[in-house]
């Protein structure tokens, strides 16, 4: 059964038609510096606030991730210490991954997530880039099929990707398989730099969401929706 969880940011929840469907398979695509990690952190905060246990797979170390998120108002220290948030770094100090070793990363992570099913309500992968760089199309499709199975059994999965992380000939199959597909970008409106989110696909929302919105990541207030009229001013 699909429920709706709120992020705790009323403006963002309103853009999504009241909140984010759970469980769902979410894909968030965008280049560097467009706010993917900040938006994912907001979703994680909402999940944790609603009592979910979250596994976060990140390219940063545990300390780096907690400090980076704290800098934009998301303090995950208590959830981490209380074992409600598990942070798994993809980079391991002292190990140099060869192309052959890296090709096995995606299946290994998929198996790890499956084994965490009973202890974890939601998985966040920020980002998938390191896992797909040497993976062939079959491994990528198998991974998303596995994620769909986990979602069907009650686990939420949120994945961020950079453009071209997924080969073009299977990209449509992947985006067609997800429940939520978001595209992030940045633009300059009236001399003001803002980040943008396009809601390409959102299955399970309570009401019709907006098609897209502009936002900023503020180090004091977190994520702030920017009305286009204000951005133009």
164: in domain: yes
In angstroms, the CA 21 to CA 17 distance is 10
14: in domain: no
Residue 176, domain CATH: 3.40.50.300
175: phi then psi, degrees, rounded to nearest 5? -65, -30
pLDDT at residue 92 in the model: 58
Check residue 167 and report its DSSP letter.
-
Structure tokens at 77: 């220290």
Alpha helices per DSSP H over the chain: 10-15, 36-49, 62-70, 77-81, 99-102, 105-115, 129-132, 137-152, 168-177, 228-232
219: in domain: no
3-class SS at 81?
helix
233: in domain: no
217: in domain: no
Low-confidence ranges of the chain (pLDDT < 50): 229-233
In angstroms, the CA 222 to CA 38 distance is 8
> Measuring CA to CA, how many Å separate 10 from each of 6, 68, 222?
8, 23, 12
Look at the chain and report how many structural domains it folds into.
1
pLDDT at residue 96 in the model: 61
Helices (H) and strands (E) in the chain, counts: 10, 11
150: in domain: yes
Which range of residues forms the domain containing residue 98? 23-185+202-211
142: in domain: yes
Check residue 83 and report its DSSP letter.
T
128: in domain: yes
């Amino acid at each position: 059964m699909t429920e709706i969880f709120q992020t705790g940011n009323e403006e963002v929840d309103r853009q999504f038609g009241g909140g984010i469907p759970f469980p769902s398979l979410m894909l968030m695509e965008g280049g560097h510096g467009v706010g993917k990690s900040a938006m994912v952190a907001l979703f994680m905060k909402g999940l944790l606030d609603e009592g979910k246990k979250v596994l976060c797979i990140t390219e940063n170390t545990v300390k780096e991730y907690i400090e980076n998120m704290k800098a934009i108002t998301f303090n995950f220290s208590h959830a981490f210490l209380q074992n409600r948030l598990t942070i798994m770094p993809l980079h391991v100090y002292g190990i140099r991954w060869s192309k052959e070793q890296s090709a096995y990363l995606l299946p290994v992570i998929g198996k790890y997530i499956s084994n965490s099913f009973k202890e974890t309500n939601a998985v966040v992968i920020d980002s998938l880039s390191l896992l797909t760089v040497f993976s062939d199309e079959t491994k990528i499709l198998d991974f998303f099929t596995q994620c769909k199975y986990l979602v069907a059994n009650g686990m939420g999965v949120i994945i961020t990707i950079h453009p071209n992380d997924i080969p073009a000939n299977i990209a449509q199959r992947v985006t067609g398989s997800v429940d939520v597909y978001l595209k992030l970008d940045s633009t300059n409106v009236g001399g003001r730099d803002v980040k943008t989110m396009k809601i390409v696909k959102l299955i399970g929302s309570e009401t019709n969401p907006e098609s897209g919105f502009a936002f900023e990541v503020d180090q004091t207030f977190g994520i702030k929706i920017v009305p286009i009229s204000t951005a133009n001013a």
